[in-house]
A and B are shown apart, each in its own frame.
Chain A
Amino acid sequence: MSDAFLQVRDLKVHFPIRTGGILIGEYTPLKAVDGVSFDLNPGETLGVVGESGCGKSTLGRAVLQLIGATDGVVSWLGTDLTSLNKKELIAARENLQIVFQDPLASLDPRMTAGDIIAEPLRNYRPTLSKAERRKMVEDMMERVGLLPRMINRYPHEFSGGQCQRIGIARAMILRPKLVICDEPVSALDVSIQAQVVNLLMDLQRDFGLALLFISHDLAIVRHISHRVLVLYLGKVMELADKAALYATPRHPYTQALLSAVPIPDPTKERNKDRILLTGDLPSPLNPPTGCVFRTRCGKATELCASQTPELERAGDGQDVACHHWKD
């Protein structure tokens, strides 16, 4: 196919939810991710934004096949990850790593920082001697801003930011080609957030990583991403270059999201035009027909209820799934 090294095509992750039935259950699929497609190039960062429950984390895990995909293709360097067996998948994961949202929960409380960071090495480089492994761990600790002498400490003895650095060190130690960052900074306070995001960007530059950066914080996504994917109820609303998306958001949902970002200037903030969305996120068990966003959209017409909008080119490097983006 093309030269993109990660290609996701029409990825669907449905969870069967029991909705009735006495002896034989009736199941309704919960469409957590429903037909998402995107490409990712080496060294590129794709930000994934959306509100809670829109399928951001599920998307990230499905790309790594930590959650099995119901349908669709995750093509990694030309091989479809969804078709691999267990062994091949473990081999493929050498180049695919993940950084989790909750820094402490993602570290085994019974293991030292050194053991945690070394775990991928033990799995993929079993021939390394103990001393070599320790050397690599210490180098990586230094690289992510941890003191190498803390190698024997346990996770509960670290702060949240330090724990996240351990998580990042674990993900980076094999020099992977793609790292999924599942809201890596949302559990940290603002000053630490900046440090961790800058660390990720440094590492990306040095190692040439591709990042899939999942977040609900539009400001951070703007800082780190090259392109941004806007997700709503498991569907792509808009996929665009960062500059285009933040300058001229085409989708009404993106416009509403961006208008909610606070501006650090009280006068501007007070006078700005905010698009308020009414109502809640509809249940993913029973999504609206046609365009999933129509129930909360100011521009919705009858067309939106009957026809699902496809992603269409709306400008240079900007794709929008809306019938009315031109209005």
Chain B
Amino acid sequence: MSDAPMNERRSGANLSVPNADALDKAADVEGRSLWQDAFRRLQANRAAMISAIVLIVLAFICFVGPAFVPWSYEEIDWDILEATPPNFETGHYLGTDSLGRDLLARILQGGQVSFLVGILATSVALVIGVAVGATAGFMGGRVDQFLMRFVDVMYAVPLMFFIIILMVVFGRNFYLMFLAIGFVEWLTMSRIVRGQTLTLKNKEFIEAARASGGSTASIILRHIVPNVLGVVIVYVTLTIPQVILLESFLSFLGLGVQPPMTSWGALIAEGAQEMEITPRTLILPAVCLSTTLFCFNFLGDGLRDALDPKDR
């Protein structure tokens, strides 16, 4: 029993006997960065890789698919004008909704909105959160106090209330929704980035950067941001589904996208009203939404494992 590992070790040792030529060649190979290391670990994580592939495929179908569907998302089939089961002759591959609009086209369009909201709102949160968090953490003192108390105040404002007021003041603008959600989501991001920055700030390489003439801005951009990015990426993949869910919730309440435009949340809301007659109109968008959320969460988990410095 104890022989097997021993043998393995021995053969491993034999393999690593430095062959001068091989070593010379290997030395010319570019160094492997921590990112590349993390990516290799991620690739070894089957669940995360499958999730990533599913997400890419889903997004691709949502954005390219409508070109191949005979009906558009806003077109009403006047011959039908009610919810019908799938029918290949009329080109309604997944049937129609209660107004006679093509369900497949609407799900694809809803997917576009959900993905867009998820990615754009998270980008807004990412940019503001990293900028504020890194600045607060690195500058410290009064700047830190001011920014973090501002975050505290923002936390205290009820989210729904904030978004509803924004909607009332600026009208129901599609793009405003990204901003509104992003403005809410950056708070946690800035806290996380600040915490990371505080631990980085006292590292010797930051002091070394100052000694070699770096200004505060260049140190934040060149040293702090790349080093907090690992944690941030994980948080981003976990924020995207949160944002998608938030948008669905807003749409469910009627505060989100406006008809005839739709999103997965709005489709679910519509479907919920008719779930006893045509459960299809509820189940199909719900399956799409949950699959996406599920995949994002798995991917986030995988990234966290891959980027966890304790694993190294």
Please determine whether A109 and B31 come into contact, CB atoms closer than 8 angstroms: no
Check A105 for interface membership: any CB of B closer than 8 A.
yes
Name which residue of chain B comes closest to A96, CB basis.
B211
Q: How many residues of B contact A (CB 8 A)?
A: 26
Min Cβ gap B199→A in Å is: 12
Residues of A within 8 A of B215 (CB): 86, 90
Name which residue of chain A comes closest to B200, CB basis.
A108
Check A110 for interface membership: any CB of B closer than 8 A.
yes
Min Cβ gap A234→B in Å is: 20
Please determine whether A110 and B208 come into contact, CB atoms closer than 8 angstroms: no
Check A167 for interface membership: any CB of B closer than 8 A.
yes
Please determine whether B27 and A100 come into contact, CB atoms closer than 8 angstroms: no
Please determine whether B211 and A98 come into contact, CB atoms closer than 8 angstroms: yes
Task: Report if A119-B214 is in contact (Cβ < 8 Å); known contacts: A102-B204, A108-B205, A154-B32.
Answer: yes
Interface magnitude class on chain A: 35 or more
Partner of B208 from A124, A152, A153, A167 at Cβ < 8 Å: A167
Please determine whether B31 and A90 come into contact, CB atoms closer than 8 angstroms: no
Instruction: Give A156 to B30 CA distance when docked, in angstroms.
Output: 14
Name which residue of chain A comes closest to B214, CB basis.
A123
Partner of A108 from B31, B35, B213, B223 at Cβ < 8 Å: B223
Check A276 for interface membership: any CB of B closer than 8 A.
no
Min Cβ gap B206→A in Å is: 8
Q: Is the interface of B mostly helix, strand, loop or mixed?
A: helix
Please determine whether B34 and A119 come into contact, CB atoms closer than 8 angstroms: no
Interface bits B10-53 vs A (CB < 8 Å: 1, else 0):
00000000000000000110111111000000000000000000
Residues of B within 8 A of A149 (CB): 27-28
Central interface residue in B32, B34, B208, B222, by most chain A CB within 10 Å: B208
Q: Which of B178-227 contact A (CB under 8 A)?
A: 203-205, 207-215, 218, 222-223, 226-227
Instruction: Give A134 to B30 CA distance when docked, in angstroms.
Output: 15
Partner of B32 from A102, A119, A124, A157 at Cβ < 8 Å: A157
Partner of A123 from B33, B35, B212, B223 at Cβ < 8 Å: B212
Q: Which of A147-173 contact B (CB under 8 A)?
A: 147, 149-150, 152-154, 156-157, 167, 170-171
Please determine whether B205 and A107 come into contact, CB atoms closer than 8 angstroms: yes
Min Cβ gap A301→B in Å is: 43
Q: Which of A110-127 contact B (CB under 8 A)?
A: 110-113, 119-120, 123-124
Residue contacts A-B, CB under 8 angstroms, 12 given: A93-B211, A102-B204, A106-B204, A111-B226, A112-B33, A113-B31, A119-B212, A120-B213, A154-B31, A154-B34, A156-B312, A171-B212
In the A-B complex, the 8 residue pairs with the smallest Cβ-Cβ separation, listed nearest first, are A153-B31, A123-B213, A120-B212, A106-B204, A110-B226, A105-B204, A152-B30, A108-B205
